[in-house]
Amino acid sequence: MNKQIEIRDLGRLDYKEAWDYQERIFKGILDIKIKNRREKLTVETPNYFLFVEHPHVYTLGKSGDGENLLIKEEKLAEIGATFYKINRGGDITYHGPGQIVGYPIIDLENFFTDIHKYLRFLEEMVILTLAEYDLKAERSQGETGVWLDVGTPFARKICALGVRASRWVTMHGFAFNINTNLGYFDHMNPCGIKGKAVTSLNVELGKKEVSVSGVKEKLLKHFATLFEAEFIEKVSS
């Protein structure tokens, strides 16, 4: 089993470009697994963790309801946003500047074969990261992602999750609001949930801006501990 994970930080990248990039890596890992099985080989599969920041975009999961996007296509152009229907789970999600988007593309057979555990570990990574900022974050029963003040009228979501998996290989991942313009969430029902608020780390801390690199370091630290993984960095991708 290969527990090394290569980090690739893509910077700011158009959603479709990042999606295509994910798909190429995802297919490459699947091809290794299929060849191993067909030819009875034992070639190790690689693992990757992509960081990216997207321009304003709304994405709808394969089981999502298009009615949860509350504006028409012409309005999208006005606010400088795009819209994609994609192949992850979950409903509608917003990505934009000031948000950390993480795409772990890993072979779970290198770690454990339990997709529910995988989702809970992604949530736990964010919960532990927020604890380092003295914020108590939790899961909300029946809803993926990470929330603050669960069970109160002030419940608000700070991190959304949506993944795809095939033959235990994952793609897509999480969107963690750090210095995010929350006004863009007004144009959708976040994750298909009506009447629930969203928030961002800088808002919760009462700061104009939070160090994104500092948050990334904490996320990777907790991911490595939870998955018993070792991160390696690649200078060029």
Tell me the catalytic residues.
191
What per-residue confidence (pLDDT) applies to 190? 61
What does the pLDDT look like over 90-128, one tens digit per residue? Answer: 778 899 999 999 999 999 999 999 999 999 999 999 999
Q: Are 105 and 47 in contact (CB under 8 A)?
A: yes
Average pLDDT (34-49) is 96
What per-residue confidence (pLDDT) applies to 73? 76
54: three-class secondary structure by DSSP: coil
What does the pLDDT look like over 165-208, one tens digit per residue? Answer: 999 999 999 999 999 999 999 888 765 555 578 999 999 999 99
pTM of the full structure:
0.92
The 3-state DSSP composition of the chain as helix, strand, coil percent (nearest 5) reads: 35, 30, 35
Q: Are 180 and 91 in contact (CB under 8 A)?
A: no
What does the pLDDT look like over 42-82, one tens digit per residue? Answer: 999 999 999 999 999 998 887 777 778 888 878 898 999 99
Domains of the chain: 54-100+112-226 (3.30.930.10)
β-pairing verdict for 169-177 and 156-166: antiparallel
Q: Minimal CA–CA distance to 157: which of 189, 116, 187, 110?
A: 189
